Amino acid sequence: GQNIDQPTEMTATEGAIVQINCTYQTSGFNGLFWYQQHAGEAPTFLSYNVLDGLEEKGRFSSFLSRSKGYSYLLLKELQMKDSASYLCAVLDSNYQLIWGAGTKLIIKP
C-alpha cells in the first residue's frame, strides 16, 4: 500500500528553527508537495520538490532524497503565525496526490 508518515505534533519556540520530516512509500514518484493549513482554513501551497536537494523560499526550505523516500520542511525564524498544520503529499505514478495526515506545529512565545 501507499504510505506517508509525518509526526503528529511538534512544538517550537518563536524565533527558532524547526524541521518537519516526511517519509513516504508510494507506487511511483512524480514529485513531493508541502502545504500549510491553518485551523479551519484550506491548505495553501508551500513548496514542490521533484529532484534531490534543497529548495529555498524565504524562511521556508524543503529537502528531498528520492533514494531514501524522505523529505523535510525547514522553517526558520519562527513566527506565531507559523502555528498551523503542515501537510506532505506525494504525486504517485497515476499522478494522484497521496497525502500525509499532517503535522500540527505549535509555536510558543
Partner 1 sequence: IAGITQAPTSQILAAGRRMTLRCTQDMRHNAMYWYRQDLGLGLRLIHYSNTAGTTGKGEVPDGYSVSRANTDDFPLTLASAVPSQTSVYFCASSDFDMGEQFFGPGTRLTVL
Rule CB under 8 A: is residue 10 a binding residue for partner 1?
no
Please select the residue that binds partner 1; options are 16, 17, 28, 41, rule is CB under 8 A.
41
Strand, coil or helix: 36: strand
Give the torsion sign (CA, 14, 90, 7, 35). positive
4 touches partner 1 (CB under 8 A): yes
- 74 counts as binding partner 1 under rule CB under 8 A: no
Contact 79, 107 (CB under 8 A): yes
DSSP 82: G
Measured from the CB atom, the residue of 7 and 31 that comes closer to partner 1 is: 31
Of residues 102, 103, 105, 107, which one binds partner 1 by CB under 8 A? Answer: 102
CA distance 56 to 36: 16
Nearer to partner 1, 20 or 78 (CB): 20
